[in-house]
Amino acid sequence: MFLTLPKPETHAAPAKPLDLFQAIADLKQELNAVILAHYYQDPDLQDIADYIGDSLGLSQAAVNCQADVIVFLGVHFMAETAKILNPQKLVLLPDLDAGCSLADSCPPDRFAAFKAAHPDHLVISYINCSAAIKALSDIICTSANAVKIVNQIPKEQPIIFAPDRNLGRYVSQQTGREMVLWDGACMVHEIFSERKLVDLKVQYPSAEIIAHPECEENILRHADFIGSTTGLLKYVQRSDRQAFIVVTESGVIHQMQKATPTKKFIPAPPTSNCACNECPYMRLNTLEKVYLTMKNRTPEITLDESIRQAALKPMQRMLEMS
């Protein structure tokens, strides 16, 4: 992709279009930067990443990275998580408005009161939350390790699970553990239409339905396989089926198609005729913004040190228990 920069006033020659892919590669070397991207990013952004992963993989990559600068292609809570784990590194996010409806559904003041009302409960929070919520939590989990982590908690220990009620309900069903759930949800995973999903299954009877656990129960009931984005990607590679109806943010299909070019992937439709199966926050990052972010070394993620330290403890527990 090319970007034509405005003509510098003092130069007579016309401005040459800038090859953004090359310019980003050059800046990566200059900054000693690593580019980490989530599967829900635009395909162009996935293609410039050094590492593409789900939230767990991205956290592990952030811990192990040797670079001076982390360019995070994802949403704010993910870049913030990288900063929690790497306070000495410059962590850049191309658009600071790349938030998350699920993280927003759990404001720290209300959550602190909720926690105070359940004083004997252990707090397990899904990584899709702010650093302030992480700081109020005992253990963080992702969609990839939530069941494994809950299974390690002694049976008699009561648990609060926040902020996603859909993942919480799914984990409860998988582990047989009753948990007190915070009533939050993701705007993308709430929007899938059960009726349209069933219509698709009628149209493609041999296709398997694969879904992310953030989906509502009426959708998950139809799924042949449920997993994190990495889990879904691995599943399509090992399944002998040739077609899949993918019930999560449609960005993940890019890697599925690359890994298994002969297979067919059908994005599950939302209730209305919108592109609501694309996360509007994830899609705020663009190639142009990545270039400008690296060139100007801003916007960067900053964190209050006391919140960072409090948020680090439950993150470390997660990494130990994964």
User: How many helical (H) and strand (E) elements, i.e. helices and strands, does the chain have?
Assistant: 15, 14
Determine, following the binding rule CB under 6 A, whether residue 54 of this chain makes contact with ligand SF4.
Answer: no
- Alpha carbons within 13 angstroms on the beta-carbon side of residue 46 total 20
Say how far apart CA 39 and CA 50 lie, in whole Å. 13
CB of 249 to ligand 13P, least distance (A): 6
Determine, following the binding rule CB under 6 A, whether residue 100 of this chain makes contact with ligand SF4.
Answer: yes
Say how far apart CA 138 and CA 42 lie, in whole Å. 33
Determine, following the binding rule CB under 6 A, whether residue 210 of this chain makes contact with ligand SF4.
Answer: no
Q: What residue 281 binds from ligand SF4, ligand 13P, none (CB within 5 to 8 A, per partner kind)? A: ligand SF4
For residues 39 and 48, the answer to whether their CB atoms sit within 8 Å is: no
For residues 54 and 39, the answer to whether their CB atoms sit within 8 Å is: yes
Among 144, 210, 245, 318, binds ligand 13P (CB under 6 A): 144
Answer yes or no: is 215 a known binding residue: no
Answer yes or no: is 59 a known binding residue: no
Binding span for ligand 13P by CB under 6 A among 5-13, 22-30, 137-145, 304-312? 137-145
For residues 262 and 250, the answer to whether their CB atoms sit within 8 Å is: no
CA 263, distance to chain mean position in Å, is 24
Determine, following the binding rule CB under 6 A, whether residue 128 of this chain makes contact with ligand 13P.
Answer: yes
Answer yes or no: is 143 a known binding residue: yes
Say how far apart CA 181 and CA 114 lie, in whole Å. 10
Among 139, 181, 186, 236, binds ligand 13P (CB under 6 A): 186
Give the pairing type, strands 243-247 and 2-3: unpaired
Binding span for ligand SF4 by CB under 6 A among 12-20, 96-104, 267-275, 286-294? 96-104
Binding span for ligand 13P by CB under 6 A among 4-12, 27-35, 140-148, 262-270? 140-148
Q: Could you tell me which residues are beta bridge partners of residue 162?
A: 125
Determine, following the binding rule CB under 6 A, whether residue 188 of this chain makes contact with ligand SF4.
Answer: yes
Output the furthest CA–CA distance in the chain (Å, rounded): 76
Known binding residues for [4Fe-4S] cluster: 100, 186, 279
Q: What is the contact surface with ligand SF4 in residues (CB under 6 A)? A: 40, 75, 100-102, 128, 186-188, 249, 279, 281-282
